[in-house]
Amino acid sequence: MKKPNPPALHKAVELLSMQEHSAAKLREKLRRRDYPDEEIEAALVRLTEKHYLDDEAACRRQFQYFYEESAMSVRQICQKLRQRGFSSALVTACVPEDTAAREERAAQTSLSQKFRTATPREKMKVFLYRRGFSYTTCEHAAETFLAKHPAWGIEEAHDFDE
């Protein structure tokens, strides 16, 4: 015989104990477990009242972690947070004013993690662009990377104009 589900509040606390979630993601997870909407909303209200669920603080913490500890572009970070259920306005509010220097470092880190052998410049730029870096950051990062590792660059066919 199947055991009855624990109350939505208990399940929500259990889910939050394993990982920080946004209210939207927690709501989605509880719905997938077939809890009634009224019970879900009551659980979310209770968790918010007790300060266990705070989308703004959670979004800021997660943004800061990805911004400082990863080689993801700011666009990637924003997309990841939106997928985790945070609103676009909340995610956008977390983005610092000037991200150019950090984007350059993240692009360099991405290139050094991915490319360990000789690689064409265009392939590097495409790799970075697909990860959400701007065109100018991709250009500059590839140039800087190849300047630091001159033996790694493979000249493209159009560079042999003689």
Q: What is the pLDDT of residue 116?
A: 75
Query: pLDDT class for 2, splitting at 50, 70, 90?
Result: low
Mean pLDDT, residues 132-153: 84
Q: What is the pLDDT of residue 54?
A: 95
Q: What is the pLDDT of residue 160?
A: 40
Q: What's 128-160 look like in SS3? A: HHHCCCCHHHHHHHHHHHHHHCHHHEECCHHHC
- Choice between 115 and 90, residue whose per-residue pLDDT is larger: 90
**At 11, which helix (H) or strand (E)?**
helix 8-18
User: For 31-64, what is each residue's pLDDT tens digit?
Assistant: 999 999 999 999 999 999 999 999 999 999 999 9
Per-residue pLDDT at 149 exceeds 80: no
Q: Quote the longest CA-to-CA distance of the chain.
A: 80
Per DSSP, the three-state class of 120 is strand
Tell whether the torsion through CA atoms of 117, 122, 123 and 128 is positive or negative: positive
Question: What separation in angstroms does the CA of 108 have from each of 20, 59, 74, 119, 120?
Answer: 30, 26, 14, 14, 15
pTM for this model (two decimals) = 0.80
Q: How much of the chain exceeds pLDDT 90, in percent? A: 73
Burial label for 89, CB within 10 Å (0-12, 13-18, 19+), is exposed
Mean pLDDT, residues 9-19: 95
